[in-house]
Amino acid sequence: MDVKTLCLGLLSVREACGYDLKKTFETSFKHFFPAGYGSIYPALADLAAKGLVECEEIPQVGKPDRKVYRITEAGEKAFVSALNSTEPQHKLRSEFLAMIYFADLVDDNRLMEVLDDHVEQLRETVRYIEHQERHSTKSAGASFVAGFGAVVARAAAEYIESHRHMLTDKVAIKASGEELADCKWAANS
């Protein structure tokens, strides 16, 4: 299932232009399926060429014409069939975790910064999703997916906060192997 198929799916919910779809990818799909204009516009052109969507150009002043896409019957069928035939993948590609894997080669200050940034990003995701949920009505699927994102992001943030000492305390160990007793976490564990 690629960006093209997802655009088709979004158009099965309501008509939209490329710009609108991009916003949906940036909001509802942000935490699990990123896509940029570079994928979306060619996808729409392709769908139109295959007759799966139709396009109406609405003239505007001072802006390019707004091209509103509407799904066709063939498009609906194609989408349902795509949904039911694909074995759904679920792939994480995390440079963040890769970097952490090699934490002993990373500058300590940078490491802490990266950890802080990532936690903040996760917290922001949680806040954002929960705000969204409160202010819009969604399909069961959309709510489930949003909830999933929030729960997973929260779990990730909590893990990082409660285990980061595994990575950052090497500083204390390196600097003063004899003074381990001074480390607060060592006293607690």
- Judged by CB under 7 A, the residue of 9, 12, 19, 119 near DNA is 19
Find the part of the chain contacting its own copies (CB under 8 A) among 52-60, 127-135, 158-166, 180-188: 158-166
The 8 Å CB, 24+ separation contacts for 1-4 are 1/82, 1/83, 1/86, 1/88, 1/89, 2/43, 3/35, 3/39, 3/40, 3/43, 4/39, 4/43, 4/46, 4/47
User: Of 42 and 147, which has the nearer Cβ to DNA?
Assistant: 42
Q: Return the number of other C-beta atoms located less than 10 Å from residue 126's C-beta.
A: 18
Does 64 participate in binding its own copies (rule CB under 8 A)?
Answer: no
- 144 touches which of its own copies, DNA, none (CB within 5 to 8 A by kind)? its own copies
- 39 touches which of DNA, its own copies, none (CB within 5 to 8 A by kind)? DNA
Does 80 participate in binding its own copies (rule CB under 8 A)?
Answer: yes
- Report angle CA 37, 42, 45 to the nearest 5 degrees: 130
Contact indicator for 132, 152 with CB cutoff of 8 Å: no
Dihedral, CA of residue 53, residue 49, residue 7 and residue 74, to nearest 10: 40
Find the part of the chain contacting DNA (CB under 7 A) among 32-40, 109-117, 118-126, 153-161: 32-40
- 11 touches which of DNA, its own copies, none (CB within 5 to 8 A by kind)? none
User: Of 44 and 122, which has the nearer Cβ to its own copies?
Assistant: 122
The CA distances from residue 34 to 25, 82, 87, 147, in Å, are 6, 19, 19, 18
Cα end-to-end span (Å), the chain: 46
Which residues are at the interface with DNA (CB under 7 A)?
2-4, 17-20, 23, 34-39, 41-45, 60-67, 91
Residue numbers of the site for its own copies (CB under 8 A)? Answer: 1, 6, 9, 12, 28-29, 31-34, 79-80, 83-84, 86, 88-107, 110, 114, 118, 121, 139-145, 147-149, 151-152, 154-156, 159-160, 163, 166-167, 170
